[in-house]
Structure 1
Amino acid sequence: MGNREDLLTGAKRCLIEKGYTGTTARDVATAAGTSLAAIGYHFRTTKALLNEALIEAMAEWGEELGRALAEDTGATATPEQRFEATWERIIESFARLRPLWAIQFELIAQMDRLPELRAAFATANHQARIGLAEVFHRVDPAADEPTALALGAFHQALLGGLAAQYLVDPEVAPSAAELTRALRIVADEFRAGQG
């Protein structure tokens, strides 16, 4: 690896260990085994390096989550069984990916001061919504993008809320079975209201 790649690897490690706002140029240079000047040479600023490292880390996280969600629950699985099995895999990923979730929440609080990351997050949100609609509902976004975005936004809201609860207290965060039960109750209430 060259200095640039070493810096990105070191920055990702620092992001996981220290968070975005807690990471300094010296931290990254030490983790990468490079000089402070290498940051300026390759990225101009520490902020630019951290932003690129974060975007790479989020892409890697997205790929890992995508692989976990792509696991087939079987052709005979009902939509309810698919929902619960997929949420089980998502919840399992929270423990492995806890630092990346923590960084995302840290950055959401800082978003007004980080316009370049706001744009990256907005793009990632759009892609996440499409992907979640495909996983949970097998919706073809090319055929019906508004429906895919609406369904994906619903699951994204569940994902963000569940992640926040998991970060605060994993022992009391809802399980996949509890989410499924709650969704069933809501659906029953909607059906009863139509009668």
Structure 2
Amino acid sequence: MGNREDLLAGAKRCLYDKGYARTTARDIATASGVSLAAIGYHFGSKEALLNAALEHAIEEWGDDLARLLAEEAASDADPATRFAATWDKVVQSFATTGPLWAVQFELLAHVQRDPALRESFAGATRPARLGLAGLFGHEGDEETALSIGAFYQAILSGLAAQAMADPAHVPSGRDLLNAVRTVAAGLGAGDT
């Protein structure tokens, strides 16, 4: 690995161990075995490096989850079964990715005061929504995928918060499926 990759790996470790606000440039340099000056040279600032490391960690989580789902998915599974199984895998992933979600929730508290951080989060929203729609097998026009992805993003964020606060009582995929069916039935089929 080169200095840039070492810095990203070190920054990711620091994010998980110390969080965003408590991580110093010196922490990252120590964790990565790279000089302090290399942070500025490769990323411009500690914050830009931490943002890049967080983006990378989120992409890794999405790639790992997609790979796991692809390996275990039955190609002939009906949409309801796929929905429940996918959410079960997402919930299971929280056991190993808790620090990633903790950092994201920490950053949400700072988004209103940090325009660069807000821009980073906003820039990640569209691809995240499209990725979530794809993860659940939705294909078709981009506008619909974005809408469906926003719905899944809301569920994902809520589940992550519940997993952090009360991991023993996070809803299962089947629980979510039953809730969606109940809500949809209450709204009336075909109504817009």
Give the TM-score normalised by structure 2.
0.87
**Which residue is 1:190 aligned to?**
187
Give, in angstroms, the shift of residue 72 of structure 1: 5.6
Q: Deviations over 1:61-116 (max 9, x none)?
A: 22223323444632332221111011111111111111111111111111123322
2:84·2:172 contact (CA, 8 Å) conserved in 1? no
Give the TM-score normalised by structure 1.
0.86
- Give distance in 1, aligned partners of 2:40 and 2:177: 50
- Give distance in 2, aligned partners of 1:46 and 1:192: 51
- Give distance in 1, aligned partners of 2:76 and 2:173: 19
SS in 2 for 1:171: helix
Percent of paired sites with the same residue: 57
**Which residue is 2:26 aligned to?**
26
SS in 1 for 2:136: helix
- Give distance in 1, aligned partners of 2:137 and 2:56: 28
Q: Which runs of 4+ in 1 moved over 6 A?
A: none
**Which residue is 2:76 aligned to?**
76
- Give distance in 1, aligned partners of 2:75 and 2:47: 47
- Give distance in 2, aligned partners of 1:52 and 1:167: 24
- Give distance in 2, aligned partners of 1:193 and 1:55: 38
**Which residue is 2:157 aligned to?**
160
| Residue 5 (structure 1) aligned with residue 10 (structure 2) | no
Q: Which 10-residue stretch deviates more, 22-31 or 61-70?
A: 61-70
Give, in angstroms, the shift of residue 178 of structure 1: 1.3
Give, in angstroms, the shift of residue 139 of structure 1: 1.8
- Give distance in 1, aligned partners of 2:158 and 2:75: 29
| Residue 52 (structure 1) aligned with residue 66 (structure 2) | no
Give the partner amino acid of 2:53: A
1:84·1:177 contact (CA, 8 Å) conserved in 2? yes
- Give distance in 1, aligned partners of 2:114 and 2:184: 39
Give, in angstroms, the shift of residue 137 of structure 1: 4.4
Give, in angstroms, the shift of residue 161 of structure 1: 0.7
**Which residue is 1:107 aligned to?**
107
What residue ranges of structure 2 are gaps of 5+ in the alignment? Answer: none
**Which residue is 2:88 aligned to?**
88
SS in 2 for 1:23: coil
- Give distance in 2, aligned partners of 1:138 and 1:44: 38
- Give distance in 2, aligned partners of 1:119 and 1:163: 22
2:131·2:149 contact (CA, 8 Å) conserved in 1? yes
Aligned-residue Cα RMSD (Å) equals 2.2
**Higher RCO (CA-CA < 8 Å; seq separation 6+):** 2
